[in-house]
C-alpha cells in the first residue's frame, strides 16, 4: 500500500522567511530606512517557529504572536512581518490547537490595539481585520478537515462491517455444507460397514458405497462454491434453492430414517434467491441435527408460502431437545432468518403415532412490506 508523503518540514519556514525579509526590506528601502540586526532576528525567528507546526502547534502560535508583537512594539518598518504569525495561527487552528490560536490572536490584538492608539497608527487596525479573517478561514478549514476525517472513519467502519458480515456468511455456509455432508457420509459409511459385517449383500454394499461417493462429490462441489467466494469469482449468495430440497431429502433418507417432504405447487413471487437459500439451509441444518443427535426414525418437512409469509416446519420423532444447548448451526440459522425479519422457534413435534415427542423447528419469514 502506498503512503502519502508529506512535504519537507523546512519548505514553509524558508518560504515565509524569504517573503518577510524581502518584503519588509523593500518597504524599509522605499521609506529610506534600513533594517537593524534586531529586526532581522525577529523576521527570522517567526518563520523558525513554523518548524514546530507538526509536533507543537500550540507553543508555535504563542511564540509567533509574541515575536510579532515585539516587532510591532519596537517600531520597525512595516511590511509582511505578520506572515509567520498568520501562518502559525491558521496551522494551529487546523491542527486542533484552536484555543491556543485564538488566545494568541487575542493577546496580539490587544497589544496591537494599544500600540495603535498610542502611536495613532491606522495600519494596525487593518492588520487586525486581516488577522480575524484568516482565523475564520482557519476555522472553516478545520471544520472541513474534521468532516473529511469523519467520512473516512465512517467509510472504514462500513468496510469493516461488510468484511465481518462476509466472514459470518462464509462461516455459516461452510458449517452448513461440511456438517451436513459429513453427517450424511457418516450415516452411509455406517450402513456400508453394517452390510459388510452382518449382511454381505454385494448389491446393497455397492449402493451404500455409491451413496458415499455421490454425497462426498456433492459436498466437494459445495465447498468449492463457498471457497470460490473467497476468490471473488462467484456470486455472494449460494445457489441452493427450494427446488433442490427433494434432492437434499433423498440424500438423507435411509433405511434407518424416513424423511417425507411434499414440494409446494406454486411459490409466491416475493420469494427471491436469498429467501429460498435461507429456507434450504434451515431444512439442511435441521436434517443434519436429526441425523446426528435425534435418533429419529421419521421426519416430516412441511413448507407453505403465500403473499404474507413463508413457513417451513421440520419435525421428527426423536428424543427431543432435552437439556442440549444450541450449537453453532442453530445459532447461524437464527442469524440468517433474523436478517430477513423472520423467527425460528423450537418445540415438541408430537407426530401422529410417534412414541416420543420429538422436536419441531419452525422457521417463519415475512414477505417484504412493499409486496403486501
Each residue of 90-114: pLDDT tens digit? 888 888 787 888 888 788 878 777 7
Q: How confident is the model at residue 179 (pLDDT cuts 50, 70, 90)?
A: low
**What is the DSSP secondary-structure string of 127-195?**
HHHHHHHHHHHHHHHHHHHHHHHHHHHHHHHHHHHHHHHHHHHHHHHHHHHHHHHHHHHHHHHHHHHHH
Q: Per mean pLDDT, which range of 133-142, 157-166, 197-206, 223-232 is the poorest?
A: 223-232
Cα–Cα separations (whole angstroms), residue 251 to 86, 204, 246, 308: 78, 16, 9, 31
Q: What is the mean pLDDT of residues 179-187?
A: 68
Which cell numbers hold the place of 254? 435411509
Which contacts (CB < 8 Å, 24+ apart) does range 177-180 have? 177/219, 177/222, 177/223, 177/226, 178/219, 178/223, 179/285, 179/288, 179/292, 179/329, 180/219, 180/284, 180/285, 180/287, 180/288
Longest dimension (CA), the chain: 121
pLDDT of residue 29: 84
Neighbouring C-alpha atoms within 13 Å toward the C-beta of 266: 4
Which cell numbers hold the place of 329? 448451526
Cα–Cα separations (whole angstroms), residue 186 to 176, 182, 259, 357: 15, 6, 17, 26
* pLDDT beyond 80 at 210: no
More confident residue, 245 or 328: 245
Q: Per mean pLDDT, which range of 9-13, 28-32, 196-200 is the poorest?
A: 196-200
Instruction: For 294-326, give one letter per residue: b (16+ CB within 10 A) or e.
Output: bebebbbbebebeeebbbbbbbbbbebbeeeee
Task: Find all residues with CB under 8 Å of 33, minimum gap 6, and list them.
Answer: 77
Q: How far apart are the C-alpha atoms of 199 and 36, rounded to whole Å?
A: 115
pLDDT of residue 361: 93
In contact, 196 and 259? CB cutoff 8 Å: no
Q: How confident is the model at residue 308 (pLDDT cuts 50, 70, 90)?
A: very high
pLDDT of residue 341: 92
Q: How many CB atoms neighbour CB 196 within 10 A?
A: 15
Each residue of 13-26: pLDDT tens digit? 898 889 888 888 88
More confident residue, 223 or 122: 223
360-366 vs 258-261, strand pairing mode: unpaired
More confident residue, 341 or 126: 341
pLDDT of residue 40: 87
pLDDT of residue 194: 66
As a residue count, the chain comes to 372
* pLDDT beyond 60 at 324: no
Share of the chain above pLDDT 90, in %: 12
- Listing from the earlier edge strand, what are the strands of the sheet with 343-347? 258-261, 298-305, 309-316, 360-366, 343-347
pLDDT of residue 74: 83
Q: Per mean pLDDT, which range of 119-133, 181-195, 307-321 is the poorest?
A: 119-133
Which cell numbers hold the place of 297? 426414525
Q: Per mean pLDDT, which range of 72-86, 196-210, 247-261, 353-367 is the poorest?
A: 196-210
Q: Could you give the 3-state DSSP secondary structure of residue 76?
A: coil
Looking at the domain that runs over 243-372, which CATH code has it been given? 3.30.565.10
Each residue of 44-81: pLDDT tens digit? 888 898 888 888 888 888 888 888 888 888 888 877 88
In contact, 313 and 260? CB cutoff 8 Å: no
Each residue of 215-274: pLDDT tens digit? 677 667 766 666 666 655 545 545 678 888 998 888 788 767 889 998 787 889 899 988
What is the pLDDT of the chain when averaged over all its residues? 79
Q: What is the mean pLDDT of residues 306-313?
A: 92
pLDDT of residue 165: 72
Q: What is the mean pLDDT of residues 37-44?
A: 88
* pLDDT beyond 60 at 118: yes
The model scores a pTM over 0.85: no
In contact, 248 and 235? CB cutoff 8 Å: no
Q: Per mean pLDDT, which range of 166-175, 292-301, 310-319 is the poorest?
A: 166-175
Domain boundaries, the chain: 11-121, 243-372
Q: How far apart are the C-alpha atoms of 31 and 71, rounded to whole Å?
A: 17
In contact, 113 and 124? CB cutoff 8 Å: yes
pLDDT of residue 320: 80
pLDDT of residue 300: 94
Amino acid at each position: 500500500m502506498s503512503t502519502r508523503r508529506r512535504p519537507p518540514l523546512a519548505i514553509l519556514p524558508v518560504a515565509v522567511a524569504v517573503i518577510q525579509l524581502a518584503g519588509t526590506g523593500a518597504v524599509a528601502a522605499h521609506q529610506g530606512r534600513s533594517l537593524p540586526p534586531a529586526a532581522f532576528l525577529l523576521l527570522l525567528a517567526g518563520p523558525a517557529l513554523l518548524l514546530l507546526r507538526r509536533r507543537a502547534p500550540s507553543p508555535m502560535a504563542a511564540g509567533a504572536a509574541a515575536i510579532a508583537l515585539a516587532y510591532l512594539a519596537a517600531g520597525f518598518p512595516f511590511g509582511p512581518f505578520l506572515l509567520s504569525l498568520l501562518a502559525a495561527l491558521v496551522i494551529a487552528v487546523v491542527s486542533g490547537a484552536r484555543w491556543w490560536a485564538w488566545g494568541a490572536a487575542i493577546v496580539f490584538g490587544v497589544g496591537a490595539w494599544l500600540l495603535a492608539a498610542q502611536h495613532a497608527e491606522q495600519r494596525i487596525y487593518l492588520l487586525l481585520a486581516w488577522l480575524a479573517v484568516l482565523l475564520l478561514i482557519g476555522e472553516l478549514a478545520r471544520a472541513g478537515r474534521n468532516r473529511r476525517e469523519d467520512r473516512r472513519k465512517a467509510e472504514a467502519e462500513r468496510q469493516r462491517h461488510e468484511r465481518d458480515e462476509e466472514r459470518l456468511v462464509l462461516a455459516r455456509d461452510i458449517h452448513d455444507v461440511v456438517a451436513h455432508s459429513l453427517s450424511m457420509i457418516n450415516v452411509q459409511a455406517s450402513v456400508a460397514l453394517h452390510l459388510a459385517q452382518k449382511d454381505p449383500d454385494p448389491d446393497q454394499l455397492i449402493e451404500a458405497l455409491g451413496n458415499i461417493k455421490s454425497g462426498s462429490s456433492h459436498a466437494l462441489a459445495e465447498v468449492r462454491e463457498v471457497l470460490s467466494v473467497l476468490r471473488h469469482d462467484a456470486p455472494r449468495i449460494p445457489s441452493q434453492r427450494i427446488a433442490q430440497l427433494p434432492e437434499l431429502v433423498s440424500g438423507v433418507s435411509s433405511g434407518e430414517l424416513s424423511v417425507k417432504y411434499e414440494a409446494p405447487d406454486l411459490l409466491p413471487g416475493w420469494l427471491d434467491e436469498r429467501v429460498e437459500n435461507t429456507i434450504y439451509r434451515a431444512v439442511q441444518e435441521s436434517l443434519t441435527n436429526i441425523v446426528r443427535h435425534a435418533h429419529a426414525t421419521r421426519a416430516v418437512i412441511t413448507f407453505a408460502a403465500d403473499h404474507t409469509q413463508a413457513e417451513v416446519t421440520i419435525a421428527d420423532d426423536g428424543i427431543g431437545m432435552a437439556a442440549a444447548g444450541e450449537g453453532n448451526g442453530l445459532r447461524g440459522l437464527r442469524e440468517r432468518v433474523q436478517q430477513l425479519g423472520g423467527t425460528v422457534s423450537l418445540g415438541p413435534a408430537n407426530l401422529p403415532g410417534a412414541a416420543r415427542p420429538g422436536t419441531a423447528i419452525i422457521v417463519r419469514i415475512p414477505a417484504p412490506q412493499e409486496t403486501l
